[in-house]
Amino acid sequence: MSTKDLAGSSIEVDGDGYLVDHKVWNREIATAIAKEEGIDPLTDRHLEVIEFMRKEYEEKGTAPSIRRLNKLNVVPTKELYTLFPGGPAKKAAKIAGLGKPHGCI
């Protein structure tokens, strides 16, 4: 574990840069992580996915997969790849302050 300066706060992250404690997350931290991931600006559509993922995490204890996001009609798969290029489930989970989704390499 290490710490990282995000949005003016020193935040503990794991070896892959995911927040250790999802409860320290806020939109300013999300914006900072998104910029690091090459997503700028963070739009309302991004936030819709991120907030859904956080809600699912609170209810189920794990970040939803791409399949689940698509199945629940949150965002079509093609749009997820446009919003979060290069690994939408991992990038969205990271920006949402969650751990790496199960099944992601």
Residues with a catalytic annotation lie at: 104
CA pair distance 33, 19, nearest whole angstrom: 10
And the tokens for 76?
A: 């079509």
Closest CA to 7 of 51, 54, 42: 42
CA pair distance 81, 69, nearest whole angstrom: 12
DSSP 64: P
